[in-house]
Amino acid sequence: MTFPRLHNDTFLRACRRQATDYTPLWMMRQAGRYLPEYRATRGRAGSFMGLATNVDFATEVTLQPLERYPLDAAILFSDILTVPDAMGLGLHFIEGEGPRFERRADDEASIAALAVPDLERLRYVFDAVTSIRHALGGRVPLIGFSGSPWTLACYMVEGGSSSDYRKVKTLMYARPELMHRLLAVNADAVAAYLNAQIDAGAQAVMIFDSWGGVLADSHFRAFSLAYTERVLGQLKRSGADGSDVPRIVFTKGGALWLGAMGGLDCEVLGLDWTANLGRARAAVGGSAGQPGKALQGNLDPNVLFAPPAVIEQEVQRVLDDFGVPHTDAGTVGPAHIFNLGHGISQFTPPENVAVFVDAVHRLSHQMRQRAG
């Protein structure tokens, strides 16, 4: 498959722990409701699923934030729940309430019936990946993604979002063998799904373990981390154009298990705003010429509601927390990808995002100049 030549590879170089001139930046949920142009396109689509399942609309909204801001990566516009939807659970969205499934996977019969879905049911996702990659014209790399096996299981058992995870945790504690069966199917489905995105043109892939942090310490490794490892072990290492495909793992609330996550077979670990980047760098970031993980994060999304001066101040604080990345182009070393600690709020003023993006690029470049 032939795609336009990549012009800005700063994000991919940071994923590989290579030296960069500035700290690359993208935002989780960067194509979303805070942008008026997104809301207009969603209105034309008629619904969220109408938007996500239409290749032209998905391409359009993926590129919208890049038209406003000089971001260093695009991320596929889709939803983490497309996989269980393709398993037959019947995904739909209720305005003001979020995702809901018509059928839950919460007992012996419903879990036994689960299987890795026919990927043709997700063809709209892969076609969107290819369409977006061409539409980008090599401007920046494209990130594909999926929810983690555990995070998908939370929605599948609960039937939608949850405030207390009572149903999924009850199943985990009362019938652990059923939960392991569900997670195994999810892991194999996620791996197949991400591999198909890679084949379609994704240049990096990210696993969102959004709800791993709700688990007790004694159960995180067995019910979340182990199945993320199962996904990573099946992923393709090169993409449609022959280049390597970095893998990012983000566990919201996962700083507690950073030491264990350092052993994952991935290139990048994402951190939420509760983590200290300096301590994370010391724990898993490695040193010049030595193995380690690139780190991604971790500004509190609510900082973007503050005045511009405060946004700049908080950006500088995150950069200072991580410290100066290595600058030797001849070797690998500690690397940082700037991001929010979770998805951007739908209420965020777009003009504040412009301040944020400019501050990250300008201040991180100045930091390297002073160090050099």
Given the residues 155, 209, 227, 281, the one annotated as active site? 155
Whether 123 is catalytic: no
Report the pLDDT value the prediction gives residue 354, as an integer from 0 to 100. Answer: 98
Q: Is 29 annotated as a binding residue?
A: yes
| 78 annotated binding-site participant | no
Question: Which whole-number Å values give the CA distances from 19 to 16, 27, 305, 326, 327, in the listed order?
Answer: 9, 21, 32, 6, 5
pLDDT by residue (tens digit) across 64-87? 999 999 999 999 999 999 999 999
Strand, helix or coil at 168?
helix
The yes-or-no verdict on residue 98 having pLDDT over 90 is no
- Active-site residue flag, 17: no
Is residue 296 annotated as involved in ligand binding?
Answer: no
Structural domain total, the chain: 1
Mean pLDDT in residue range 10-29: 98
| Residue 7 marked ligand-binding | no
pLDDT digits (tens, 9 = 90+) for 102-141: 999 999 999 999 999 999 999 999 999 999 999 999 999 9
| Of 33, 104, 123, 368, catalytic | 33
pLDDT of res. 35: 98
Residue among 360, 357, 286 at smallest CA distance from 319? 360
Q: Binding residue per annotation — 247?
A: no
Q: Is residue 3 part of a domain?
A: no
Whether 28 is in a domain gets the answer yes
Distance CA 362, CA 372 (A): 15
The domain spanning residue 119 has which CATH number?
Answer: 3.20.20.210
Structure tokens at 6: 């990549």
- The answer to the question of whether 155 is labelled as a binding residue is yes
Q: Which of 9, 72, 79, 85 is catalytic?
A: 79
Task: Name the burial class of residue 255, with classes exposed (0-12), middle (13-18) and buried (19+) by CB atoms within 10 angstroms of its CB.
Answer: buried
210 is in an annotated binding site: yes
**Listed range (39-43, 94-98, 261-265) with the worst mean pLDDT:** 94-98
Range of the domain at 357: 10-371
In a domain, 136, yes or no: yes
Cα–Cα distance between 194 and 197 in angstroms, integer? Answer: 5
**Residue 146 maps to a domain:** yes
Residue 42 bears catalytic tag: yes
Q: Check if 181 is active-site.
A: no
The annotation status of 16 as a binding-site residue, yes or no, is no
218 is in an annotated binding site: no
Report the distance separating Cα 34 and Cα 27, nearest Å. 12
363 within some domain? yes
Which of 13, 17, 29, 139 is the catalytic position? 29
Give catalytic status of residue 29 as yes or no. yes
Q: Quick check: is 5 in a domain?
A: no
Put simply, whether the predicted model's pTM sits higher than 0.95 gets the answer yes
Q: What is the mean pLDDT of the chain?
A: 96
175 assigned to some structural domain: yes
Residue 4 lies in a domain: no
pLDDT-derived band at 92 (thresholds 50, 70, 90) equals confident
Catalytic option among 13, 17, 42, 281 = 42
Q: State pLDDT tens for residues 236-276.
A: 999 999 999 999 999 999 999 999 999 999 999 999 999 99
